[in-house]
Structure 1
């Protein structure tokens, strides 16, 4: 890791938007989440004050989890669909990120937004590809090189290798002796501006060697772009009511399929995916890879935004036509047909924010006027009504949709988990407080005994959960392998039937959609069964722990402990990886024409498709399944850790002397406050449900 020197750090960039107040029309959608956050913060602050030192530590730990809450939204889409311009406009900062990025750029840029009194650019971190990732690209030509190699497409493979070699030479020319040293490293800055970001995410021209130009070349645009893998930018934002991460990804249709893998990783790490399309080429055939990506994500976690409607000649009828076309394409390709489809223009948004509507191009102005006549029924010219233009840009609707999804999804799950932990802590301490009796009359609570009982229950639960996971993973692997064999058998049979009826002179293709549907169904069943089984284990664990507390404190049967919800199962995005059957290029025809005889066709095809699809199966039965295991075990372990804190709090309660009326009164006030905290958390959970 490297920190940039202080002299190289730019001054914090300031937003150029003259009307950032427009962001209020959209960001208001986050109010429910922000209100729940505020309620939780207040409850935890109260709990820290009315409890003992152990309760205060528990409240502090839960508060830290609240502070760390940062739902992420990944933007994917066509190259030149305007993803970056859209994100800039969403921030109210039209020139924050470079929008005219070279299509070769493979950088995922994550914008970490945090509420603040004023908007400013904060820290920046840029990570480079490590040696293994770079070697895989250089030696094998990335995923496309591997694919071409398996397909025997020597001409295409040579072409890929020449392109990789040219990229490597240019990178080494730009970076010189620094090239090898930078792989696997990262650069950090205390602030950033557009110029700094351009060094890492925009590919520039070749640089001339000048006698004293080394430092200038080091600072030039695109200097590190070939080897930069990700950029993390911290932005303090006055209009944001909560933390949020917007993740800008590269287009997926690149020469080496490197960006596809990078984008798959970004979607896996996010709960919500926004597919950005251009109004001129919405879901064209070149973007079937995008449909494959979003088909692995639940429709509830996908939003489709059609950008650049400012370039349509007559947006009112054309928007309706585009929406119908997208729905039809999604249905035909087994995509998320119920995903919301929004329309807008980052250009309109940027001009509204900057107060430069008179500078709109003539065609864009006409499109805006036609849409305004339809939307506002002939009202005042929207160019004099910034909020009207802002509304027609689609950004308020996009932000509100994102907020609605987060409130029902990732944000709600985290807040519910913390609310349950807070309620459990308040309930348990309150129960112990309520049993406070004069010395000698109070049930003896021995910490060592209580901890041993909790540990034994937790151990049984861990073993039970491990057995459940092992059983479901075994069945999951069996279903995946059965689906794989079935697909290979059907595809090979279809090939032989084609050869027998059409002969070898007619090129045959076969769609892999059936395989993806089978694998997706297996993953959905695995996730459903895992969550149901885990919920049973967690509910039993909570009941057993509640029984221990009741026995230790002499409580009645009404005392309960809230079990945590099982974590969500992430989308199986590896299913979307491009395989040989997805590529309908010239090399497939050459593969076909080089075979002779039915046996050679069948054997070669079966071997190639098997080898192409095995990495997907491996990723599902190992990586995907192990992520599920790790998340479930972490949920159980976190719940048990909560109980250990409660045990410590329970066993440190002071007894009340018979004549200490003032102490008893203070204790009653604490009891009332603990009950109020528990009640508030219970109400919050019911309202969220």
Structure 2
């Protein structure tokens, strides 16, 4: 260890925190460069276009500036997930790293590149009264399950735990308790004490302990979510990291919040402990990631610093994780990264000499085996701080996240904004062409102005209605298919129960795997996604073709002079709600009580059917009423924006075509300097890169 720590202070001076944090962010740097080029093109549009074009370009520029991809971290309790988040943002002590699972909060860290004048901020949202009452009266999801199963004793235990939790909250908050529900508190700063007050319960106050504040965890029980705005050294673009509660939340009161966070983020980092890795006891964790694209799942095995022989144990752990995922049909080929948030934290603070001896020995052991060529290729691997940072796995995780952001959401966002901007720039070019009077439109069968406008309205109105009708049909078909899948599953499960009773009687409890239901519902989602994308693309293609004809007839603009770029079909969120825990996933005491309270085969069958239908209805309804409707709304919003864009373009060209040619040439010359042609060409070239 002496060789590794003798020059760590000098190494820390050479590799600043920003340099360390920037080692794995290369792909994000490429995103930033692409954003800057697109920003330049949008500025050109604002300079070249009329007021309508300038406003639309400004709106696109705002979308570009506020682009913030998000990554959700989920994991086992005691996996060091929060410590890893602290390392990723370069602040090892910011978030409380030892959180009680039923008081932890979904914490969204909105990270900004360093900039002068930036102000940190924090916002905390409390549960509303209905959400809190659901927990108190029913004991959360576990309480609902116990109640449906008739496990009265189990339900009473849960209610007692919740009552104790509520009483502690009342003691902390006094008469303001009910008034705070549904409220939000905002602050113009961020510090550890503020976060602990809202996010972590901490220890009970002890009058004899001066280090424990009465404020610690004051609002944690009723806090639903936390949003923190921070600067992150070395970060090229904005990024959101979501730290979620552990998946084994006592009452499952935050399970749905975690599921929603995963769905909204797309990229999911699963944090495991090297001592626990992944086992059959983590089925709830596997269920949450099974329906996320394998490419968007990254597994980070933390706490390798606690392994006695990392060189031998890490390959064994990797093989065990792969075997467990394969056995339970988890994501295939998910990237697995090994590391230590502890090593990363000590590297960031330049105090490797403070590592526990066992951790330092593990670091040296792993350094002999780990391949750092991809991450530290251009760095001094003899510098102990940089070496420890590389071995921590954090830069490898950064690179994995950056790559997925670049290939996924960033590419889609740049493509969408670039396509809209290209349509605006093409329209500017067409206006120049129309104002020049270069084409004798009378020879092209030019439409009379009123007829042209009527045709435009007909195209836009009919196609908007056609797409809505098509999506109504798609969603109705999706709903019918899910109902059939659920009914078929219930019939099969009930039949299996009867067979078990006939063969074994009611002396031995029976179990049934709901994986088949999830698989069939997931298949229905794939059909929905495929049809939604195809329908959107067909609708935009129809509009494109019909407008091309109209532009030619109304203004004499051929395909080489007025090209309409199709907007990309919006991405369809993954059906992560299928990872929701249901009765058949659990085999606690409630199930034994349900089993013992039945009398007769028909009672078993009828009661089971009702129980599982009540359990599966919520996520079937969510797929139908939330996810599917969300897909429809997003697609229609994107389509309406495309139509509005083309409506504005047509009116701009129409104004140009109806004006006196000489007057319009003078106006164009006054509005655009002599270098406008070159600027327009450059703008079109840039936008063409992002619209393909």
Query: Structure 1 pair 448/138, CA: closer, same or farther in 2 (3 Å)?
Result: farther
Tell me how far apart the structure 1 counterparts of residues 175 and 552 of structure 2 sit (CA, whole Å). Answer: 68
1:70-114 CA-partner distances (Å, limit 9, x unpaired): 111111111111111111101111112111222222311101111
- The SS at the match of 1:374 is coil
CA offset digits 1:499-531 (Å, max 9, x no partner): 122222122111111111111111111111111
Q: Distance in 2 between matches of 1:296 and 1:174?
A: 40
SS where residue 395 of structure 2 aligns?
helix
Q: Confirm or deny: 8 A CA contact 1:249 1:263 kept in the other structure.
A: yes
The aligned counterpart of 2:28 is: 30
Q: How does 1:79-158 map to 2 (within 5 A)?
A: 79-117=77-115, 122-158=120-156
- Which digits, 9 at most, give the CA deviation of each residue in 1:445-493, with x for residues without a partner? 9987665543322211111111211111121112111111111111111
Distance 1:442 1:672 in 2: 26
Query: Which one of 595, 600, 603 corresponds to residue 597 of structure 1?
Result: 600
Map 1:148-187; keep pairs closer than 5 Å: 148-187=146-185
Question: 1:660–1:489: structure 2 CA closer, same or farther, 3 Å change rule?
Answer: closer
* Cα distance in 1, alignment partners of residues 665 and 574 from structure 2: 59
> Matched residues in 2 for 1:250 and 1:453: separation?
55
- Quote the Cα distance in structure 2 between the aligned partners of 1:184 and 1:659: 57
Alignment match, 2:536: 534
* Runs of at least 5 residues in structure 2 that lack an aligned partner in the other structure: 1-14
2 CA distance for matches of 1:673 and 1:566? Answer: 30
2:9 corresponds in structure 1 to none
Which residue among 481, 492, 495 is the counterpart of 1:493? 495
Deviation at 1:206, TM superposition (A): 4.5
**Cα deviation code 1:108-161 (max 9, x no counterpart):** 110111122369760110000001100111111111111111111111111111
**Is the Cα–Cα contact under 8 Å of residues 118 and 238 in structure 1 kept in the other structure?**
no
* Cα deviation 1:366-398 (Å, max 9, x = unaligned): 111111112379x99978522211111111111
How many residues were matched structurally?
A: 666
Residue by residue over 1:311-361, the C-alpha shift from the partner in whole angstroms, topping out at 9 and shown as x without a partner, is 111112211111111111111111111211111111111111100111111
Determine helix, strand or coil for the equivalent of 2:250: coil
Distance 1:448 1:136, change over 3 A: farther
Q: Conserved in 1, the CA contact under 8 Å of 2:422 and 2:691?
A: no
Cα distance in 2 between the residues matched to 1:354 and 1:36: 33
The 1:376–1:36 alpha-carbon spacing in structure 2 relative to 1, beyond 3 Å, is closer
Q: Please, what TM-score do these two structures have when normalized by structure 2?
A: 0.91
Distance 1:207 1:579 in 2: 37
* Cα shift at 1:650: 2.6
Give 1:14's aligned residue: none
Aligned to 2:311: 316
Distance 1:351 1:206, change over 3 A: closer
How far off its partner does 1:41 sit?
0.3
- Look up the match of 1:522: 524
Q: Is 2:412 aligned against 1:413?
A: yes
Q: Does 1:56 align with 2:59?
A: no
Determine if contact 1:20/1:353 at 8 Å carries over to the other structure. no
CA displacement 1:510-560 (0-9 Å, x = unmatched): 111111111111111111111111211121112222322222221123332
Question: Is contact 1:451-1:644 (8 Å) kept?
Answer: no
Separation of aligned partners in 2, 1:580 and 1:417: 42
User: Within 2, Cα distance between the matches of 1:381 and 1:408?
Assistant: 29
Indicate the residue corresponding to 2:249 in structure 1.
254
Residue matched to 2:70: 72
Per-residue deviation, residues 396-435 of structure 1 (Å, max 9, x unmatched)? 1111111111111111111100000111110111012123
Distance 1:448 1:75, change over 3 A: farther
Change (3 A) 1:376 1:262: closer
Partner of 1:235: 230
Q: Is the 8 A contact 2:544 2:565 kept in 1?
A: yes
Contact 1:107–1:229 at 8 Å: present in 2 too?
yes
Q: Is the 8 A contact 2:90 2:232 kept in 1?
A: no
Q: 1:659 and 1:78 mapped to 2: Cα distance?
A: 67
Q: Which runs of 5+ in 1 are unaligned?
A: 1-16
Q: Give TM-score, length-normalised by structure 1.
A: 0.91
